[in-house]
Structure 1
Amino acid sequence: MELQDLYATHGQFIDGAWRSGSEEACEMINPATEVPLGAIKPAGAAQVTEAIAAAYAARASMRAITAWNRSALLRRAAALIDERAEALGRLVALETGKPVRQAVGEAKASAESVDWFADEARRVFGLSYESRVKGDRYLVHMEPLGVVAAFVPWNFPLLLLARKMAPALAAGNTLVIRPSSEAAGTTMALIKCFEDAGFPKGSINLVIGRPAEITPTLMNDPRVAKVSFTGSVPIGRQIVEQSAATLKRVSMELGGHAPVIVHADADIDAFAALAAPGKFRNAGQVCASPTRFYVHESIADEVGAKLVAATRALRVGSPLDDATDLGPLTTRRRRDAIEKMVDDAVSGGARVLSGGARPRATERGYFFEPTWLTDLRSDAAVLNDEPFGPLGTLATFSTLDEVVAEANRLPFALAAYVFTRSLAKTHATVDRLEAGVIGVNTFVASTAETPFGGSKDSGFGREGGPHAIRDYLDTKFVNVAMPADAD
């Protein structure tokens, strides 16, 4: 289905029915061409309240489904996502500018995540053990929380939503989803997979629109039991503050500013080959993106030269072209923010090793060259604020103490990366780094079966892996005291 049709005929998904929004239509812009993709009518506060009511009423339907049947529904949804991966990837490329090969990979990873939690639905175990009184029993049950509100940004509109929907539904909860408007059509197409899989009416609800209309309504409603949020640190703080009024449970996956430590014994060629695509995947719009690169002084010149050469070999172009490595940034404001960071760094004496400007060959679109900066002052914005774009920094270090202190200096603690051939250096570095996810000789930070999340200002809670479903469950203790004359 084309995006114009999705926007016009779908829009909001409330109580098992697709409908238009109630607010004035707004245009969706293709970030590669700056041409409108179509227009969508956003949801108003009244429709958000309808969605909450539908999700609240559907709790009984979800509780009536056995864990094995929930597993079967999720497995069916995963299969549909996988079957539609090419079409889903094209929607992601059109709406966000992500290169289509990466976007199809995201769709495939989303299917894997849903499939993983199809298994976890059948593995929600309780406990039964003897009480202090002979013949009595202590029972511990795990039960769904109820209505879950899921907030999802635009940089991974399929995967980030799948990682929230799958454990929530596996645990037997219902959902109200508020995605980013920049990826409205992509989100609708993903929800269609779950609808076609046969989930009960009202169990999944989608409201697309302005945060000012949607967020307060969700946060102020006591029927919403939990919020799962992925986004920026400032908005995450607001969500946590708003959750206090109704004591909602909250999971936060917030920003990062990942350090990369390249020890003197690292495989330089392997590192350079991984670092260029790893840094500039999705134009650097990845919360776990490596951003601050620290290279041992003894190999700094060789690493810098090979890293720049590998970066210049990347192809910037149309996200619909299979050969493209970097598409545009998703929004004009992201491109403007990156330009401002580069200007700030250069005005403070930094050197541009590669990139640093909009590509000359692209007259339209929110494109920016893959950029490396070095010789930065410690107060440069790019060293202190998450760049969230195609911008990396290079610096040298001489001792482990020095580089670990610098890596841990910021309040972010999401991801970090280490390159070394030494097991001793691996353990010595990993043990001291403050990060929820650490890659050693790799930039792969997340898979369906592994936990993903951070601490400090990067949030709390984990998505993926065997523990994620716990964030969507409540614990009930039952003390069974049997009468003396019981059969």
Structure 2
Amino acid sequence: MSITREKAAERYPRLGQLIAGEMKYDGGWSTIDVIDPTTGSVLGAVSMATEADVDEALAAASKGFDIWRNTSAFERSKLMRKVAERMRESAEALAELLVLELGKPWNEALGEVEVAAGMWEWAAEEGKRAYGRVIPSRESNARQMVLVEPVGPVAAFVTWNGPLVTPSRKMSGALGAGCSIVLRASEEVPACAFALGQIVYECGLPAGALSVLTGDPVMMSRNLLESPITRAVTFTGSTNVGKQLSQLAVSHMKRPIMELGGHAPVLVFDGINIQDFAKRAVAAKFANCGQVCFAPTRFYVQRSIYPDIVDAMTEEAKRIVVGCGFDPKTQMGPLKSERRLQAIERLVDDARQRGLRVTTGGRSLDRPGFFFEPTVVADVTTEPKLSNEEPFGPIAALTPFDTYEEAIALANRLPYGLSAFVHARDFETLHRATNDVEAGNVICNGWRVTYPETPFGGHKESGMLSEGGIEGLRAFQNVKYAVLS
């Protein structure tokens, strides 16, 4: 890789609003600076859409839906496969934006491009399999059918920690089902979403089937969800905001599809390979600087192997190279913002004040940008903030347990239920835990939570419905019962 941060920053694009297929730059909008987390410097400016812009996008979505829903599933699939191909062809350009806006290491950024492209590929194929069914009739001259139809124009809201994956999941799911979509991109990582939207239109999407805007979230959520045009809302972000959007959506009878916060437990039972576990656990924990909703955060370890796990994870965390994502040696980049850096500092300060052991890390780095050391905290009880608030950063909290029942109680004690991990050699333990852990995704002896073909969604306060897989397609569909006689 020969790309430098300085050269990449010079190529950072001019940003506007993508409305009905046209990238608009001169709307007289107010703007917000986009900050490079690696240096703390300004990359560019992102505009804030007006109510008129939102209304224009909604009107376009209504017209675009009429065209797109009547486009055959096979033609829709062909276009969406082109999107996946174009993303792979543009992988380095897209990865460059990811590193600039989020600070991801280069290889992680390329990996996100591939995952996002795979989502388009999967939705392209699954959209051709939106099957209904025929129900045997009680009357000889009647045919009873169940038909599957797109729900209608979709309002989408995405957060900043998956600049390509999250918009791709929502765009591909909605478009694959035959819906149009208006997506509010995060003003913290806007260039990725706009680049994706432009690729989709370059592949031939009808005007209006997609708009990408940035703007005030309160104004946009109100206008999008109060409009009679919108029929569903999909949101990825915090539980508190998700609750507010869900209430607004339900009050206007819009379908809420919510992927919300998590605080993923990891149950570690004796008999495992400790060094192998520690190596893979640390890689999973500190990917994207820990800024992943399904990242492992609360490690509950059987007491017989607890000291060895603490030592092994501590040593692995110490080896992580922290730096600029364009440096090929870098394994972990910065936190996204000063706000995130301060939040992590507060969690570690609270842990120290309570006398917990910080076995490695625990401090911000004395350099420009928002860097924090990979951190392991041991002997964590249920009282510290770290045990109860989603850290969304590079902190692993370790706690010993004695019995299976104690481990399950610890895993289930919080209102979150997005992801959980179980590591054990004994199949009976894995089988029991799969049933007993309260989460939408339970991963045994592994770390990969989601693929394009698998459903992704949370239980309890971590969400409603799923995105991805056949379940994700169904979230954007209506079921109609019809009789012909």
TM range (shorter): over 0.9
- Report whether the alignment pairs 1:177 with 2:183: yes
Residue in structure 1 matching 2:120, options 114, 138, 146:
114
Q: Which residue of 2 aligns with 1:267?
A: 273
Q: Which residue of 2 aligns with 1:396?
A: 400
- Report whether the alignment pairs 1:330 with 2:332: no
Q: Which residue of 2 aligns with 1:484?
A: none
Query: How big is the shift at 1:127?
Result: 1.6
Identity percentage over the alignment?
39
Change (3 A) 1:448 1:330: same
- Letter paired with 1:231: G
After superposition, what is the alpha-carbon deviation per residue over 1:251-307, rounded to whole angstroms, capped at 9, x for unaligned? 000011011111011111110110111100000000000000011111111111111
Structure 1 gap ranges (5+): 482-487
Distance 1:70 1:276 in 2: 40
Distance 2:392 2:237 in 1: 11
Query: How big is the shift at 1:473?
Result: 0.7
- Letter paired with 1:450: T
- Report whether the alignment pairs 1:297 with 2:303: yes
- Report whether the alignment pairs 1:77 with 2:83: yes
- Report whether the alignment pairs 1:15 with 2:29: no
Distance 1:208 1:22 in 2: 14
* Equivalences for residues 198-237 of structure 1 within 5 A: 198-237=204-243
Q: Which residue of 2 aligns with 1:485?
A: none
Query: How big is the shift at 1:320?
Result: 1.4
- Report whether the alignment pairs 1:164 with 2:173: no
Residue in structure 2 matching 1:321, options 297, 322, 327:
327
Distance 2:80 2:9 in 1: 25
Distance 1:159 1:47 in 2: 25
- Report whether the alignment pairs 1:381 with 2:385: yes
Contact 1:22 1:43 in 2 (8 A): no
Distance 1:26 1:311 in 2: 35
The 10-residue stretch of structure 1 (405-414 or 432-441) with the greater mean CA deviation from structure 2? 432-441
- Letter paired with 2:20: D
After superposition, what is the alpha-carbon deviation per residue over 1:105-151, rounded to whole angstroms, capped at 9, x for unaligned? 00100001110111111101112233221121112211111110111
Q: How many residues align?
A: 478
- Letter paired with 1:473: Q
Q: Give the match's secondary structure for 2:469.
A: coil
After superposition, what is the alpha-carbon deviation per residue over 1:326-352, rounded to whole angstroms, capped at 9, x for unaligned? 111011111100000111111111111
After superposition, what is the alpha-carbon deviation per residue over 1:342-371, rounded to whole angstroms, capped at 9, x for unaligned? 1111111111111000124xx210110011
Q: Give the match's secondary structure for 1:466.
A: helix
Q: Give the match's secondary structure for 1:128.
A: strand
* Equivalences for residues 29-44 of structure 1 within 5 A: 29-44=35-50
Q: Which residue of 1 aligns with 2:4?
A: none
- Letter paired with 1:60: D
Q: Give the match's secondary structure for 1:201.
A: coil
* Equivalences for residues 298-377 of structure 1 within 5 A: 298-360=304-366, 363-377=367-381
- Report whether the alignment pairs 1:434 with 2:438: yes
Query: How big is the shift at 1:169?
Result: 0.6
Q: Give the match's secondary structure for 2:362.
A: coil
Residue in structure 1 matching 2:292, options 286, 295, 300:
286
Query: How big is the shift at 1:6?
Result: 6.3
Q: Give the match's secondary structure for 1:122.
A: helix
Structure 2 gap ranges (5+): 1-6
Q: Which residue of 2 aligns with 1:28?
A: 34
The 10-residue stretch of structure 1 (336-345 or 121-130) with the greater mean CA deviation from structure 2? 121-130
After superposition, what is the alpha-carbon deviation per residue over 1:432-455, rounded to whole angstroms, capped at 9, x for unaligned? 111111111111111111111111
Residue in structure 2 matching 1:424, options 428, 434, 442:
428
Query: How big is the shift at 1:22?
Result: 4.0
Query: How big is the shift at 1:4?
Result: 6.9
Distance 1:375 1:139 in 2: 59
Distance 2:183 2:8 in 1: 22
Q: Give the match's secondary structure for 2:355.
A: coil
Q: Which residue of 1 aligns with 2:483?
A: 479
Contact 2:88 2:114 in 1 (8 A): yes
Residue in structure 2 matching 1:105, options 102, 108, 111:
111
Distance 1:462 1:56 in 2: 25
Distance 1:312 1:5 in 2: 34
Residue in structure 2 matching 1:246, options 252, 259, 276:
252
Query: How big is the shift at 1:101?
Result: 1.1
Q: Give the match's secondary structure for 1:476.
A: strand
The 10-residue stretch of structure 1 (191-200 or 207-216) with the greater mean CA deviation from structure 2? 207-216
After superposition, what is the alpha-carbon deviation per residue over 1:377-429, rounded to whole angstroms, capped at 9, x for unaligned? 42211100100000110110110001110110000011111111111111122
Distance 1:425 1:129 in 2: 41
Q: Give the match's secondary structure for 2:342.
A: helix
Distance 2:294 2:412 in 1: 15
Query: How big is the shift at 1:245?
Result: 2.6
Q: Which residue of 2 aligns with 1:49?
A: 55
Q: Which residue of 2 aligns with 1:65?
A: 71
Residue in structure 1 matching 2:135, options 102, 122, 129:
129
Query: How big is the shift at 1:3?
Result: 6.7
Contact 1:358 1:368 in 2 (8 A): yes
- Letter paired with 1:387: P
Contact 1:315 1:325 in 2 (8 A): yes
Query: How big is the shift at 1:64?
Result: 2.4
Contact 1:349 1:375 in 2 (8 A): no
Query: How big is the shift at 1:5?
Result: 6.7
Contact 1:348 1:376 in 2 (8 A): no
Contact 2:8 2:96 in 1 (8 A): no
- Root-mean-square deviation (Å): 1.4
Query: How big is the shift at 1:7?
Result: 4.8
Distance 2:114 2:328 in 1: 16
Task: Name segments (4+ residues, structure 1) moved above 4 Å.
Answer: 1-7
Change (3 A) 1:195 1:3: farther
